[in-house]
Structure 1
Amino acid sequence: MKKGFTILSVLLLAGCSSQGIVTMQDTSPQVNELRDLDYDGVIKAREKCDETLRGAAVDNDGCPQDKTVKQSFRLNVTFPNDSSELRPSNYAKLEQLADFLNDQKNASVTIEGHASKVGNPAYNLTLSQRRADAVAKALVNDFDIDASRVDAIGYGDTVPLNDEDSEYAHDVNRRVMATLSGSYSTTDMRWTIFTVN
């Protein structure tokens, strides 16, 4: 059986050898640009979006894909006892928040005023509202943030950061928290081995 298989193989190979060899032209003209000039994985002949951000996820035309991102920005501004006056040192924090709002035009911010448990709860509620209003007013008047994007709420002494009856606890509870959230579009990036999330 093995000898017959070998003879058959030799006959088949011999039959193929009688055909002539056809040679191709030395060169063929290149009709389209086949390089990927912006390194997005799409050749120039199909590219519809030049200069794609390196690492961006792209469609078949080389155009970047967008994704919607929700992001939060937390701000902690503290106040002296029985005061709603902003300290000069707080303006650097407010500037960071204003820059974020200017960058993310669809985002809005909620300013939350808080007070320590020292004193009358009704008075603390009013004081916390004045603190929230002071921060909101500074964002609108000093940093040109549209008033429709800023909301101010006073919580009084109902949401303390620290429940202890100490000077430190009272100090950290006299604060304004600003929670900013909103959706914005950004370029979706391709997954790599270095991608964290």
Structure 2
Amino acid sequence: MKQLSIVLITGLLLGGCAPQTVEPMEDTVTQTRDLTDSDKDGVIAARDQCGDSVEQAKVNNEGCPSQRIEQESFELNVQFATASAQVREDQYADIRRLADFMRRYPQATVTIEGHASKVGNASYNMQLSQRRAEAIANVLVTQFYIDKNRVDAQGFGETQPLIDDESDRANEQNRRVIASVSGEHGVTEKRWTIYSSEEQ
């Protein structure tokens, strides 16, 4: 009986080791989607609608970077001599900076505001302030080639004094041309990493 048990167990064990038929697998599927990430933004090329993201840009599911709008401004303040609308050579550097700003922001326009001190009569001062504003506008257009349609000149005479009295200091400060211009530009937001600073 012992022998019969050994024979049966051996038969069962050998039967379990008998060759089995292997079913062939279906043909492998060729990968048709581009799974690379050439701009390293974490979005595969097959889904990336903005394939040229800047490094470390914060992107959405389509791989397009998030942008925030930043505003920059520039202010011009040019002083004039008494009863003069003559732009001095040393003032060209400030006007050039205004022109450079306007080139960086081609949609920006500027109003050049001319002002006068309270010395003299109001009618004369209004004309003088207009000539001062036009003198600065003319330098912007003819010397620095800013389109004249982007530049407006307006005189205010003595109606908007910086210092409202007739002291020498007030007269000097009030004989001026001012301009303020601003422009907007988009800035790509960066994603946070362990190397990011707190300010980002």
Q: In structure 2, what is the equivalent of residue 53 of structure 1?
A: 54
Mapped contact 2:71–2:185 kept (Cα < 8 A): no
In structure 2, C-alpha distance between the alignment counterparts of 1:191 and 1:64, rounded to whole Å: 10
In the TM superposition, residue 144 of structure 1 has moved relative to its aligned partner by 0.5
SS of alignment partner, residue 140 of structure 1: helix
In the TM superposition, residue 50 of structure 1 has moved relative to its aligned partner by 4.6
In the TM superposition, residue 173 of structure 1 has moved relative to its aligned partner by 0.7
In structure 2, C-alpha distance between the alignment counterparts of 1:55 and 1:89, rounded to whole Å: 44
Q: Find the structure with the greater CA-based Rg.
A: 2
Mapped contact 1:78–1:174 kept (Cα < 8 A): yes
In structure 1, C-alpha distance between the alignment counterparts of 2:59 and 2:108, rounded to whole Å: 26
SS of alignment partner, residue 117 of structure 2: coil
In the TM superposition, residue 167 of structure 1 has moved relative to its aligned partner by 1.1
In the TM superposition, residue 73 of structure 1 has moved relative to its aligned partner by 1.8
Structure-1-length-normalised TM-score: 0.71
| 2:195 aligned with 1:194 | no
Residue 77 to residue 40, structure 1, CA distance change in 2 (3 Å): farther
Pairs aligned (count): 163
In structure 1, C-alpha distance between the alignment counterparts of 2:55 and 2:93, rounded to whole Å: 33
Q: Specify the code of the residue in structure 2 equivalent to 1:186.
A: G
Q: In structure 2, what is the equivalent of residue 110 of structure 1?
A: 111
In the TM superposition, residue 56 of structure 1 has moved relative to its aligned partner by 3.8
Q: What whole-Å deviation, never above 9, does each CA across 1:155-185 have from its counterpart, x for those lacking one? A: 0011111113211111111110112235x44
SS of alignment partner, residue 78 of structure 2: strand
Residue 52 to residue 145, structure 1, CA distance change in 2 (3 Å): same
Mapped contact 2:70–2:187 kept (Cα < 8 A): no
Residue 78 to residue 65, structure 1, CA distance change in 2 (3 Å): same
Q: Specify the code of the residue in structure 2 equivalent to 1:146.
A: D
Give RMSD over aligned pairs.
2.5
> Unaligned regions of 5+ residues in structure 2, if any?
1-30, 193-197
In structure 2, C-alpha distance between the alignment counterparts of 1:48 and 1:94, rounded to whole Å: 42
In the TM superposition, residue 34 of structure 1 has moved relative to its aligned partner by 6.7
In the TM superposition, residue 59 of structure 1 has moved relative to its aligned partner by 2.5
